[in-house]
């Protein structure tokens, strides 16, 4: 990590992941835009609650928790791009290349927090290392678009379970194809993209099963829906757009109602007792 202070001018951020509306009429050119679907998500009541946003990146969900009246919001993330759960093929260079593209890890969050005058607290903790001893417990925990990037998503969900005393909202990328073909059977496809640090993508039933396997009881589910591409993603080079499969945007619009990355969301609570073992 650099020892220099992070600039808080939003226009100085090399790459925005989230599309955020900031004071002064500036909208960040994020790669992804949660604004059109934020009201569709299965939010619990967060007013007056202690809340946690796991793997916050630019902080969209953390700032939304604050906007909805949370008493206290803590946002966690890794300290450096090299701390991603890189596959072996990209472990030596992945963090360096991502830093070259995206700049200092956490720059967007700090710039957005300053612009919003937010009181969200940032803690540098890997999702695998969440413990009550380290950060306490929370009435509401949210986590978005993280499991795809983890080699062991259930281990991370178990760590989230250890600090969740109330509600957990999980928002993750899902496979539409597997969700349509296997509505009840939990499955996942091995995505494995070393360069993008992507491991696997479940269908909707698989997403639910992973959350349940970590010790949660699902009470509500939403999806699939499109997490829409933001202006940063749409500004990709012409060569990248030409390489993309031309029918994919049309298929996404037909199946999801908009062009973007397919996601599903679950609202759950920690199980008080382990389910009975059936042989």
pLDDT, tens digit, for every residue of 33-50?
A: 999 999 999 999 999 999
Q: Angle at the Cα of 118 (from 234 to 221), degrees rounded to 5?
A: 60
Band of pLDDT at residue 204, cut at 50, 70 and 90: very high
pLDDT of residue 4: 52
Share of the chain above pLDDT 90, in %: 79
Indicate whether 278 pLDDT > 90.
no
Residue 1 resides in a domain: no
* C-beta of residue 74 within 8 angstroms of C-beta of residue 51: yes
Residue 275 resides in a domain: no
Residue 279 resides in a domain: no
pLDDT of residue 198: 93
Average pLDDT, the chain: 90
Residue 278 resides in a domain: no
Residue 162 resides in a domain: yes
Structural domain of 203? 10-270
Structural domains of the chain, count? 1
* C-beta of residue 64 within 8 angstroms of C-beta of residue 54: no
* C-beta of residue 224 within 8 angstroms of C-beta of residue 207: no
Residue 5 resides in a domain: no
Residue 96 resides in a domain: yes
Per-residue pLDDT tens digits for 112-143: 999 999 999 999 999 999 999 999 999 999 99
Four-residue CA torsion sign, 173, 177, 180, 183: negative
Residue 214 resides in a domain: yes
CATH of the domain at 124: 3.40.50.150
């Amino acid at each position: 990590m650099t020892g220099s202070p992070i600039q808080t001018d939003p226009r100085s951020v090399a790459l925005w992941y989230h599309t955020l509306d900031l004071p002064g009429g500036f909208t960040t050119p994020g790669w992804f835009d949660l604004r059109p679907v934020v009201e569709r998500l299965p939010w619990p009541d967060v007013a007056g609650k202690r809340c946690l946003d796991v793997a916050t990146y630019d902080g969209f969900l953390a700032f939304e928790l604050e906007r909805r009246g949370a008493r206290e919001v803590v946002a966690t993330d890794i300290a450096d791009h090299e701390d991603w759960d890189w596959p072996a093929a990209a472990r030596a260079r992945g963090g360096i290349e991502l830093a070259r593209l995206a700049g200092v890890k956490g720059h967007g969050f700090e710039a957005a927090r300053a612009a919003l005058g937010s009181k969200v607290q940032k803690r540098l903790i890997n999702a695998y290392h969440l413990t009550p001893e380290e950060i306490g417990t929370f009435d509401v925990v949210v986590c978005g678009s993280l499991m795809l990037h983890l080699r062991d998503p259930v281990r991370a969900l178990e760590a989230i379970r250890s600090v969740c005393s109330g509600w957990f909202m999980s928002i993750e990328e899902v496979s539409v194809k597997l969700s349509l073909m296997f509505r009840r059977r939990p499955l996942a496809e091995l995505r494995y993209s070393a360069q993008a640090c992507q491991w696997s993508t479940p269908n909707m039933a698989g997403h639910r099963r992973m959350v349940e396997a970590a010790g949660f009881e699902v009470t509500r589910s939403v999806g699939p829906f499109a997490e829409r591409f933001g202006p940063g993603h749409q500004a990709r080079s012409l060569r990248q757009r030409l390489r993309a499969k031309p029918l994919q945007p049309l298929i996404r619009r037909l199946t999801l109602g908009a062009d973007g990355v397919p996601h599903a969301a679950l609202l759950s609570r920690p199980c008080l007792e382990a389910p009975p073992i059936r042989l």
